[in-house]
Amino acid sequence: MSFGGNVSEIQFATPQTVKEAVKCLAGAKGRAKVLAGGTDLLVQLRAGMVRPALIVDIKHIPELSAVKREDGGFRVGAAVSGAELGANKAFRKAWPGVLEGLELIGSTQIQGRASLGGNLCNGSPAADSVPGLIAAGATCKIAGPKGTREAKVEDVVAGPGKTTLKPGEFVVSFFLPKRPKHAGDAYLRMIPRTEMDIAVVGAAVSLEFDAKGVCTDARVSLGAVAPKALLVKAAGKALVGSKLDDDALEAMAAACRAACNPIDDKRGTIEYRTKVAGVLAKRAARIALERAQA
Amino acid sequence: MAKHHVSTTINGDPAEFLCDTQQTLLDCLRDELQMTGSKEGCASGDCGACSVMLNGRLVCACLVLGVEADGATIDTIEGVAQGDELHPLQKHFLDEAALQCGVCTPGFIVAAKALLEENPDPTETEVRYWLAGNLCRCTGYDKIIRAVMNAAAEMRGA
Ligand SMILES: Cc1cc2nc3c(=O)[nH]c(=O)nc-3n(C[C@H](O)[C@H](O)[C@H](O)COP(=O)(O)OP(=O)(O)OC[C@H]3O[C@@H](n4cnc5c(N)ncnc54)[C@H](O)[C@@H]3O)c2cc1C
Ligand code: FES
Ligand code: FES
């Protein structure tokens, strides 16, 4: 058995370096698709949603599968699986909220393969690891025919299923900056079930405080309430200068609600998604605060 | 394009097969190697009936390409029993009657074995979360969870 009916033959490449991968992708005759964990790509192939001429497995490139310290922060390969990053204790300590998002993806089996790069580049508005990365202020290294460039995570997705990557480009790694002493992050999602479901709303908050407990930096990101994950700058601003009192949290929630532009479907109406976005952001902010104090 | 020639290690033994790019590892195990222990329930990563170990990690074989097995190490349900000697998980599944139609069983055993290798003394909650990606339409799960807990206890020597 194979995917669909008479699919024309698909070529397969396993480049060993970033350079080779760019060459494969840029030189492909027809559509080329990057393969990381395959947990989106294989489902889409089977459903006939994508018909690539070439599949490029990026997992043999050392940079894509490595987690390293860099400038006091972390450099995480775009193809590192959830199971692998979850086993990194230093990463868990620095960025528990980013991991929360990644680890919510699917089951144990899916975690064995699912990657941050795949979750981002698949372009789902509900992708669970993306708000956490955006709140973290993460950037990604993108390689392409013109060399490499850095981009903010919030600038990679263009809309549902679409990225801003140019032909021949792919995401090599993510950079998460060094954490100051008093900092914390958190991600929460709302789903109708307790496991294995798609977010109706996702909210990530990353906070930094000074020694007196005053918030010095705050980034709030929402998933599933717009065509792509949002960085809600006004929500972060509402928290800076405060100690996260109720008024500041309510101002942040109001900014979240104002930023929502969700779809209306059987899993959540516009009104419901908008209201829940504010509630979840408040809860995530409280968890991030607790983590910053710990 | 010619078919891919894949050289891999399955349950400790070298194995080879030919496949097209779009064939999944599950297709290759079942159709090319006649290893039909791993089951296809959904082919979309939702049911876990196709669970195998790929380079020591639990994955859905329906979401892995057969060509990805080249140079890799794969462990399947066929390698769980040692000859005629059943694995404690298999014994306890029988003792607890933790299967009816049995389509989900290979996936549950492979997944549970992976859990017990990582965590020999899991709580019931940990077992239920670990196995959340394995679906069973027959048993109602309680017997499966009990079988895993009992096997874990036996393997710890408790
Ligand atoms: C049963 C099941 C449950 C799931 N549950 C969730 C969930 O709860 N939350 C959630 O967010 N997602 C969920 N998913 C979707 C999926 O698992 C995630 O999106 C996952 O992170 C994808 O990563 P991957 O490495 O498997 O990507 P792949 O399938 O390998 O790739 C996904 C897409 O991104 C492209 N791509 C991959 N890596 C790169 C790169 N480095 N550069 C450029 N393009 C790239 C691919 O070409 C493809 O188009 C689920 C999937 C399944 C099957
Ligand atoms: S057949 Fe692979 S998860 Fe269902
Ligand atoms: S025994 Fe039939 S699906 Fe589990």
What's the pLDDT score for residue A265?
Answer: 85
Fold observed for domain A63-176: 3.30.465
Given a cut of 70, whether residue A80 has pLDDT beyond it is yes
Binning pLDDT at 50, 70 and 90, where does residue A196 land? low
Q: Does A45 touch chain B (CB under 8 A)?
A: yes
Q: Does A112 touch chain B (CB under 8 A)?
A: yes
Same fold, A63-176 and A183-293: no
Provide the residue ranges of all domains of chain B, joining segments of one domain with +: 4-79, 88-156
d(CA B80, CA A190): 38
Question: Who contacts A92 (Cβ-Cβ below 8 Å, separation ≥6)?
Answer: A86, A99
Using the beta-carbon criterion (under 8 Å), do B58 and A9 form an inter-chain contact?
Answer: no
Half-sphere exposure of B144 (CA within 13 A, CB side): 26
Question: What average pLDDT does this structure show over A58-66?
Answer: 98
Provide the residue ranges of all domains of chain A, joining segments of one domain with +: 2-57, 63-176, 183-293
From B127, which residue of chain A is nearest by alpha-carbon distance?
Answer: A108
pTM of structure: 0.96
* Shortest-distance atom of ligand 2 to CA B48: 3
Best of B55, B62, B68 to disrupt the A interface (most A CBs within 10 Å) is: B68
- How do the pLDDT tens digits run along chain B, 158 residues long? 689 999 999 999 999 999 999 999 999 999 999 999 999 999 999 999 999 999 999 999 999 999 999 999 999 999 999 999 999 999 999 999 999 999 999 999 999 999 999 999 999 999 999 999 999 999 999 999 999 999 999 999 97
Q: Which amino acid is at A63?
A: E
ipTM comes to 0.96
Fold observed for domain B4-79: Ubiquitin-like (UB roll) (3.10.20)
Pairs of residues, one from chain A and one from chain B, whose beta carbons lie less than 8 Å apart: 93
Q: Identify whether the C-beta of residue B10 lies closer than 8 Å to the C-beta of residue B35.
A: yes
Given a cut of 90, whether residue A266 has pLDDT beyond it is no
Binning pLDDT at 50, 70 and 90, where does residue A195 land? low
Given a cut of 50, whether residue A4 has pLDDT beyond it is no
Q: What share of chain B is helix, strand, coil (3-state, %, to 5)?
A: 40, 20, 40
Percentage of chain A beyond pLDDT 70 is 96
Q: Does A81 touch chain B (CB under 8 A)?
A: yes
Q: Which of B45, B54, B68 sits opposite A106 (nearest CB)?
A: B45
- For ligand 3, atom 4, which residue shows the shortest CA distance? B136
Q: DSSP label at B30?
A: I
Question: What average pLDDT does this structure show over A222-246?
Answer: 97
Q: Which CATH architecture has domain A183-293?
A: 2-Layer Sandwich (3.30)
Binning pLDDT at 50, 70 and 90, where does residue A199 land? confident
A contacts of B114 (beta carbons < 8 Å): 108
Query: B27, B31, B42, B65: which to mutate for ligand 2, most atoms within 8 A of CB?
Result: B42
Q: Which amino acid is at B70?
A: D
What's the pLDDT score for residue A268?
Answer: 85
Q: Which of B22, B57, B132 sits opposite A3 (nearest CB)?
A: B22
What class has domain A2-57? alpha beta
Fold observed for domain B88-156: DNA polymerase; domain 1 (1.10.150)
Binning pLDDT at 50, 70 and 90, where does residue A18 land? very high
Cα distances (angstroms) measured from residue A30 to each of A8, A45, A182? 12, 16, 50
Question: What average pLDDT does this structure show over A158-179?
Answer: 97
Strands B4-10 and A139-144, bridge-based pairing? unpaired
